[in-house]
Structures are given as C-alpha cells and as structure tokens.
Amino acid sequence: MSDIRIELPDGSVKEMASGSAPYDVAMTIGERLAQASIAAKVDGDLVDVKSPLEKDCKLELVTMKSDEALDIYRHSTAHLMAHAVKDLYGDDVQVTIGPSIENGFYYDFFSDKHTFSPEEFDTIEKRMKEIVSENLPIEREVLGRDEAIKLFKSMGEDYKVELIEDLDEPTVSIYRQGDFADLCRGPHLPSTGKIKAFKLTSVAGAYWRGDEKNAMLQRIYATAFPDKKELKKHLARLEEARKRDHRKLGKELDLFSFSEEAGAGLVIWHPKGAMLRTLLEDFERREHQKRGYDIVMGPQILKTDLWKTSGHYENYRENMYFTEVDEQGYGVKPMNCLAHMLIYKSQIRSYRDLPLRYFELGTVHRHEKSGVLHGLLRVRGFTQDDAHILCTPEQLDAEIKGVIDFVQDVMNIFGFECGMEISTRPEKSIGSDEDWDRATKALISALDDTKLPYEINEGDGAFYGPKIDIKLKDCLDREWQCATIQCDFTLPERFDLAYVGADGEKHRPVMVHRVILGSIERFIGVLIEHFAGNFPLWISPVQAIVVNVTDNQAEYSESVFNQLRAAGIRVQKDLRNEKLGFKIREAQMEKVPYMLVIGDKEMEDGTVAPRHRSGKNLDPMTVEQFIEFVKDECSRYQ
C-alpha cells in the first residue's frame, strides 16, 4: 500500500499506509488518545474512528471534549435504546428514526400491538445496560440501495424501507451492533461499551414525518451523558423544571386555564393572571413612550388583497385564518405590520419626520397544529409587543442598536442573560438579492459595533427579511426565544412607502420589525418558570395579604385592608376563623410576597407585622410605612 500524508491540527504530518484509520493515527501518538477518540473529522467531515483513510487529508480526532462529541454520543445511545426495545418487544415494534436533540435524544417506534408507558423504562434501561456490558463493536456497512431495501424488508422494518426509497442515492450506510442493524449516516461510537450514563425520561405521541395524515408513532425521550455525575445534575435540573412547569403553577396559582369548549390553544385569563398581564403591558407602554414610540392600534381582520400584496397570502397562509364579510374575503391578522404601514401611508412623510416608531400590543391569531400546542408557550391566539420603525437608510444602524439596548435593559430587569443569533434568508422568501444583502449586512454591522458575540443561523429568517433572534437564558440555563429584530427593505417596496428627502425627491424608507418580550403569553410562561411563580413584588398579582390571629382583630384587619387597597396596593384578606399557621401556609402556597399578621399587639399599636413568603419576619411598621415600603420597592420599575 502506498503512503498517505495526514496533517494534524498542530501542523504536524503523519505518513501512514493507505487504508489506515484515524484510530491508527491516534495510536502513533499514544494509546490513551486512541482509547479516548470516539470519531474523527477528515477534511472537515465527521467519520467513524475506524473509517479507512484512502488519500492525503487533514485529520482532527474527536474526543468527549470536542464540540461534536455529545451529539455522536447521544445518537449512539439512541441506537442502543432501539436495540434494547427490539430485543424486548421483537416484531411487535418497528423502528423509525432516533436523532439526538438538545439535552438528549429520542427514538420513534410504531406498534399497533404495544403501548409504551414510563413503568417500562426500568426494563428497557436494564436491557440497555446489558448491551453496554457486552461491549459490542458498532460497525458501519455500505450497501447498495436495492440490497438495503431487501434487508429491511426481510426484517419487517417498513419505515426504514420508506426512508431508503425516498433517498436518491445508489448506496446507503447501515450500522450493526450484535444482531441489531439500523439505517444511519453516522458517525457512531466505536462500541456500546463507551456508553456510560443514560436515562429514559418520557413518552409522547408523534406523527410519522411530522404529518398528521400519517401514522401516530410512540416517541420515547431520553438523555445521556459521558459520566454519571453529569447525568445526575441534569436529572436534578429536569426535576426542578417539572416543579416550575408553568402549566402546573398556572393552575395552582389560579392564573389561567384552557378549555376544550373554547378551543385548543386559546388562553382564558383568570383575575390574577389578567392582573399579571396588565402589569406587564403597562410596563411596556411606559418603556416604549420613554423611547419615543407612538402607541397605535390596527384592526383584527384586513382584506385578503392586502395580505396578497404583503406576500403573506403566498408565503404564510397555511398559518392564517380567513373569513368572508359581505362577499369580501378577509384574513385574521397573524402579524401587526400591515396596519402600521397603512398609518404611515395616510399622509405625506418628510425625512424630517423620521424615524417613526409605531408600537402596538396587538393580538394576533396563527393556525398552529394541535400537536405543537404547549401551554402558554405555543398558542393560537396571542398578543405581541409589536413595533415597526420606519426610517431612512442612514438611520437604520442607530435604530437597530437602539432596539438591542432596549432588549438588554428590559431583560436585565427580569434577570435574564441574552445571546444573539442572526437568521438569514430562507428558501421561501420575497424580495431581491440586493435588498436581502443590504438588510443582512445592516444587522451584522450593528452587532459587530456593539461587540456582542453572535452566531449565524442559516436560512431561518422571516420570508420578508433577515433577523436578529435574541435568546434568553433562565435560572436553569435553558434558552428561550422571545425578542427579535427584523430588517425589511421589501415590504416598503411592495406598499410603495415613501418620504420626501432633503433633495425634494421621493425615497424609500426601511422598516424594522421588532418585539421586546415577544408573545406576552409566551413571556409570562417563561417568567412563571424562571421565578417558580415567586414573582417580584412589582409584578405580583397580589402583593400582600392581611391575616388576623383571632376574630378579635377582624375589624382592625378590615380597616388595614381598606387602607392598603385605597393606596393602590394589590391586597387580599384572610379573616377566616382558622389557625394562623394554616392561613400563613396557604398564603405561602399562593406565593404572596408579604403576609401582614395582625394580633392584639398590632391592633393596640396601630401597626402590622410583615412576614415575607421566604419566612423572614420584618420589624412591625405602621400601615403608612408599609405602603411606602411597597411603593419604594416598585418605583424603580415605574
């Protein structure tokens, strides 16, 4: 065999026999490195650590410290789970797909004979551990397309056959471990023994290929980590996340509900939830007015022809609802931008008028599939803190930076860290290449100037323009997409928006679409989980509850309650003939920030004894002092 030259990341070159594997290269450096290597990158492409090298190349060994490692590790564990399921349930179950995902992996199974339940997880995990202990080699095999179809037909794996038939390739790769074989591009770990720690977490339904017209599959979710300590930490975070689930807390705190009678994905706000929402919306109005935004309102439905002009009808209508009035077609708005452009067009604009910033807490409706609805986080009717900035091209950079500063200021108030991502032109889009290029460069330039780190998310922009997606990180290190900044040269062109420049000629403005919190519903869901329902005092639906020790203090307690309410404090009272400890526990369960305990001493002194929900007791104070205390705490957000 002739020698090939293999260049390593440090610039050194190894001469190896053609057909040598990355593992062999690692062995020339050291046995420990060879054992730690789970895959390799050859000229930038991921391959198995035992894949033969046939020509000169650049080689990078992948260990568990590499960025790509966890994805490979979890995908191999998904195969391990499928192997265990097939061993346990045989022909009663067919395998479909099993990718790695953020924080874990899943595998989808089809069966009309067996329904999986969490009670079976221990049995499946036990079989997985047995396969790990066998340390089976995981080996790649390349088959001709017809040969692969024949193999999976013989195994009764109809879904694998369908996948292969849809591939326009002469060959496919499969991976074998023991008597289990799966269709896969790879790469994978070299053996099952490399898998150290995993846990099955839940089971759910999923349509084959995400199409509700197809068969319903059973999806088993799981996670895996290279060591048991990391797995234990992750499972603890999952348990904490379960405790914070906004659907659970929303019910316990009586904030909101959903009803099949009303319709799926439509939120019904209860008094406390409506108060929380109102406080957030009032905060938003104040913050926007401080920054030079004008508050506007548009209609819920607009003529279908308008949606055709904007491109929504062609590019977004599957997400829209339509109706007819007096034989005229209308679209229920999924976005607020059209009415804002009509406001702009209502009179002649000069360059001296710009920028114009239109802000609307606009309720929109989008047709989301029932399978993706998820509490407040994915609904069909929601309100956006939507704004559209119309400016000259020369003003664009400052406006983008202004929105970035706005988002950071607001998120700091709630204790969120922010990460930036630029999403570029998708396949389904409108507008010229030139406009898309100008818009994308404007977003990149603004972020470069701010020195904020960002990533590029190729092909995930809006159909009318690229965008900056701002990811929030909560107290459990989970990321949430809320704020976004979209740069649009296309819709102003389609709606023939213009302003008169200093030269007396007509010019085209640029439009920035942006939200700060995003969907109010979604943001409240995130807030509930971030704070575990323990809202800061300024947005707590109930700030204090008056609690008497005995009936003897009922009249004074009623007087305290009335004084607080008259002063604008959001207050409740619990004057029931119950034990004090019982009433305090109930208030703590409702996560009320302050309990004002009133006994004989407080009644005699004309004071209250505030007790924080954490259990900390404050010094007794007069009602007036408590009112000032609350107002002072909240004033920083006014």
Unique residue bearing structure tokens 């205390």: 629
Catalytic residue list contains 384: yes
Catalytic residue list contains 288: no
Phi, psi of 256 (to 5 degrees): -160, 170
Unique residue bearing structure tokens 């499928």: 82
Choice among 50, 366, 514, 611 that is catalytic: 366
Strand partners, 6: 14, 57
Choice among 277, 513, 514, 573 that is catalytic: 513
Choice among 467, 591, 611, 613 that is catalytic: 467
Choice among 94, 218, 384, 563 that is catalytic: 384
Do 357 and 293 contact (CB within 8 A), yes or no? yes
Choice among 83, 288, 333, 337 that is catalytic: 337
- Sequence-distant (6+) residues with CB within 8 A of 91 are 156
Catalytic residue list contains 388: yes
Nearest to 25, CA basis, from 39, 165, 106, 307: 39
Nearest to 617, CA basis, from 586, 595, 633: 595
Catalytic residue list contains 365: no
Catalytic residue list contains 188: no
Cα dihedral: 339, 343, 344, 345 (round 10): 100
Choice among 24, 108, 386, 488 that is catalytic: 386
Do 63 and 69 contact (CB within 8 A), yes or no? yes
Do 262 and 270 contact (CB within 8 A), yes or no? no
Q: Following DSSP, what letter does each residue of 357-425 receive, concatenated?
A: EEEEEEEEE----GGG-BTTTB-SEEEEEEEEEEE-GGGHHHHHHHHHHHHHHHHHHHT-EEEEEEE--
The tokens of 26 are what? 């690692």
Nearest to 566, CA basis, from 637, 624, 632: 624
Strand partners, 531: none
Do 462 and 513 contact (CB within 8 A), yes or no? yes
Sheet containing strand 607-612, strands side by side: 571-574, 544-548, 594-598, 607-612, 621-622
Q: Helices marked H in 451-573 — which ranges?
A: 490-494, 520-531, 554-566
Choice among 388, 514, 570, 583 that is catalytic: 388
Catalytic residue list contains 32: no
Catalytic residue list contains 366: yes
Q: Please list the active-site residues.
A: 337, 366, 384, 386, 388, 467, 513
